[in-house]
Amino acid sequence: MTKVITYGTFDLFHEGHYRLLQRAKELGDYLIVGVTTESFDKARGKLNVVDPLMTRIENVRKTGFADKIIIEEVQGQKFSDIKKYGIDIFAIGSDWRGKFDYLKEYCKVVYLERTKDVSSTMLREKMRHIQRIGVIGTGRITNRFMPEATRVSGVNHQGVYNPHKASAERLAKDWGIQAYDTVEELFDDVDLVYVAAPHQYHYDYVKAALEHGKHVLCEKPMVLQKAQAEELYALAAKKNLVLMEGIKTCYCPCFHKLLGIVMSGRIGTVRNIEACFTKLENPESRELTDRRFGGSFRELGSYVLMPILKIFGLDYEDIRFESIDDENGIDQFTKVSLRYKNGFATATCGLGVKSDGRLLISGTTGYIVVPAPWWLMSYFEIHREDPNDIERFSEPYLDSGLRYEISEFLHRLDEHPESQEKSLSDQESIALAGLMEKFNEVHPPKVDAAEEEKGTKA
Ligand code: C2G
């Protein structure tokens, strides 16, 4: 008798789960299904799980494929289950490809293709159906986004668009999704759109997606002009759609904790904020060669300004930008100084410069320091006058951290606009676009007419 085992959360049970179990069962004679407990999902960073364990077990049972159902409670259990039940085959979806190769020493490991189209027909009685995501752009960030989206319950990758079809096809092949010829065809097949194209194309894609009635999560900087941001948020509101800017740090649990602590007055009244983000980037990269849209501020400015706007607000009295440029006029290093009625702030960003990427918030009774890299925040300290008086806080920040913004995006779809308070509000996102625009005014790109023409046509 060939014994097969598979595991999953099986939340909002859908066709992808059904087909996975069906094919796992076909691999042998006896199928064991491990269903994850809430606490295990929490520990492994699976977010937004809706159904309680008993409902998830019942849905697996109803398929009739499982000969035995067990619960998965702890890390390392797969290995002991394989031994305990004398398993011949471990089966799991292809989104986990390579991740369970270590089990090959004990049994055969089979990665089954994920189901591409997950319709909601099996979920008629459920509150929320599986949201199909379409991705625009296939760069580094998209490659991080794809695995992170599988860690959030209630979403499923559907397809990808890139005007360079070959790149879209590559990503589509890796993820068993569809590469679309036009962006309109992608919109027709999805509920949500993730825009991760180069910044200068964001406005057009976001606008088109909203006009097609799709919710949009757009990478930072969403747009480079305030009026464009205002227009897009107004359009989203008019169409009752969610539009959210993806500055990942502001959606992570540790940042929420930090903000709560600052706002509750634990370090007194805040007087100074310093945020720094620098990166040694490849000199050939788009960020360091694109005279119109490259440079450290456009690339990293959203991160360093975000905590300043969250804590001090949008009403600064004065702002000054200072940059060190390369011979093409691309800023390698930029410092933004903001003066508020009762406080100061400095946002520093650099490409090709390395500094201590920390966030420092100084108040009248103490200061908070988030060590580098603060934008991947999982720990911070409160210091007071007595050098021994240090309070330490930590919260998980898993992998690239994009799962938190995806989770927040779904939360807003469920009509929880109040969550803007602790992450990023529309007004703050509009203000960030305004600061991008201001930077452009004081630091106009050094481009000749031919390049200008090429840029607008691209
Ligand atoms: N699945 C699929 N097609 C989809 C969605 C999911 O084939 N469109 C598969 C997954 O690859 C997985 C199974 O269905 O093999 C269960 O998926 P989830 O409930 O999302 O569970 P997961 O987080 O993948 O947990 O220990 C837990 C396991 O490691 C897997």
**Same domain, yes or no, for 433 and 309?**
yes
Domain containing 228 equals: 131-248
Q: For the chain, give the mean pLDDT.
A: 93
pLDDT at 121: 46
Ligand 1 atom 10 nearest Cα: 93
129 falls in which pLDDT band (50, 70, 90)?
confident
Lowest-pLDDT range, 87-101, 110-124, 377-391?
Answer: 110-124
Q: Which atom of ligand 1 is nearest to the CA of 96?
A: 11
- 239 and 359: one domain? no
CATH number of the domain within which 161 lies:
3.40.50.720
Q: Are residues 241 and 264 in the same domain?
A: no
How do residues 183-237 score in pLDDT, each as one tens digit?
999 999 999 999 999 999 999 999 999 999 999 999 999 999 999 999 999 999 9
> Which of the four pLDDT bands, split at 50, 70 and 90, describes residue 435?
very high
Q: Which pTM does this prediction carry?
A: 0.91
Question: Residue 81 maps to which CATH number?
Answer: 3.40.50.620
Does 106 lie in the same domain as 226?
no
Using CA atoms of 65, 70, 75, 79 in order, give the dihedral in degrees to the nearest 10.
-70
Domain ends where: 217, 248, 279? 248
- Our answer on whether the CB atom of 90 is closer than 6 Å to any ligand 1 atom is no
Q: 222, 248, 274: which is the final residue of a domain? A: 248
Angle at 89 between CA 84 and CA 95, to 5 degrees: 115
Position 446 confidence tier, pLDDT thresholds 50, 70, 90: confident
When pLDDT is cut at 50, 70 and 90, the band that residue 453 belongs to is low
Decide if 126 is inside a domain.
no
Looking at the domain assignment, is residue 119 inside a domain? no
Mean pLDDT score, 261-270: 97
pLDDT of residue 130: 86
Question: What CATH number does the domain containing 453 carry?
Answer: 3.30.360.10
pLDDT in tens, 103-127: 999 999 999 999 887 765 444 444 5
Residues 164 and 203 both lie in one domain: yes
In the chain, the number of structural domains is 3
- Is 122 inside a domain boundary? no
Same domain, 273 and 220: no
Mutating to test ligand 1, I would choose from 15, 27, 95 the residue with most ligand atoms within 8 A of its C-beta, which is: 95
Residue 160 lies in a domain: yes
Residue 325 shares a structural domain with residue 432:
yes
In the numeric block, the tokens 């998980």 are attached to 396
Distance 98 CA to ligand 1 centre (A): 14
Q: Are residues 204 and 334 in the same domain?
A: no
CB neighbours of 201 closer than 8 A, spacing ≥ 6?
Answer: none
Check pocket membership of 8 for ligand 1, CB cut-off 6 A.
yes
* 153 Cα–ligand 1 center, Å: 10
Average pLDDT (61-80) is: 96
The answer to whether 328 touches 291, Cβ cutoff 8 Å, is: yes
Domain match, 424 and 309 both: yes
Mark whether 198 and 51 lie in a shared domain.
Answer: no
Indicate the pLDDT class of residue 450, thresholds 50, 70 and 90: low
What spacing in Å lies between the alpha carbon of 7 and ligand 1's midpoint? 7
Q: What is the pLDDT of residue 445?
A: 87
**Cα 293 to middle of ligand 1, angstroms:** 39
